[in-house]
Amino acid sequence: MNDRKRYSEKNVPAKRRLKWQVKVLLAAIVLVIVIALVVLLLSLAGGTTINKNASSADSSIAQDSSDISTSGPASEELSSESGALSKNASSKASSKAKSSAAASSKKADTSFTGNAESVLPDSSLTPEWAAKELDMWYLYYVDFDNRMPENYVPPVVKINTKYTRNSGFEFDSRCVDQLRRLLNDANNSGVDLFVYSPYRTYASQKTIYNNRVNEIKNKGKSQAEAEIEAAKRIMPPGCSEHNLGLALDFNIASDSFTGTKPCKWLMEHAADYGFIMSYPKDKVHLTKVDYESWHYRYVGVDHAKRMKAKNMCLLEYRQFLTSIKNGK
């Protein structure tokens, strides 16, 4: 009995150590489980945050896209352009893919994209349509008898310097894309065409015109005679299409442009992009401006093609639309 008691007492420390080791092991297991749970919870929380941020970003992008698609240019005093711009904006997205596909399928050195818009037949032109078009910004007419307001400033943007000789050149933002296409297609077809003189402010036009008047006066002409002579090539401020932001001179404002490859290309293709020669040789008696083979302005594709087919300058064409408006 005493031997058994002594054996039991002898093994007490060993049993205590075993119990302590078991407790330590259990504690370690519990700690590992706790750490794993914490890591799992943090991981789940992080994923939720990322999803929320992604959703927020998507919502922000969607909102930005909505803002961009619904915003339009500032309204203009001279026309009811906002309705036409809304139409163009709504159709732009649907036509973008078609335009890209058409452009990519063409050979750069032999063809041009132009604009496939067809001309409406005269029989479909209604008085309501004519009245609306006559008030549109792209058909606004200026000359000696139709001066624009001195404070009028069109919505111009910078022209890509790829096709200019001046980094500060500007053109109307509503048709600058058509100008870009025209220049791009001409140059891709091997025609060296570039912008020589586009938009001019009222003040710059006044300076150019007055300088020309003074040059003529110095040759012995009176003020009145000098003003009339100067206006045959440089319109007074407020009378020039350059002030509208819709017109430009190509390559060089000189008779030397006539008959050149760029001149011939424009005469054949400019209407496909909505541009017309403002002062044709056979219309001098109407425009009161000398023939300028280098000067073109934007009127829209449908109108440009119809004017070309009918051999009309803008003054004649507006009279044609006015007759339709009046039911004649």
- CB contact at 8 A, 226 and 156: no
Q: Any bridge partners for residue 276, and if so which?
A: 297
Under DSSP, is residue 5 helix (H, G, I), strand (E, B) or coil?
Answer: helix
d(CA 178, CA 305): 14
Nearest by Cα to 22 from 30, 12, 11, 32: 30
Catalytic-role residue among 229, 241, 292, 316: 292
Residue 292: active-site member: yes
Nearest by Cα to 85 from 100, 75, 96, 98: 75
- CB contact at 8 A, 112 and 272: yes
d(CA 102, CA 24): 77
Position 281, amino acid? K
Nearest by Cα to 152 from 238, 231, 239: 238
What does the DSSP 8-state code read for residue 257? G
Which residues, in sequence order, are CB contacts of 227 under 8 Å at separation 6+? 213, 236
Active site residues: 292
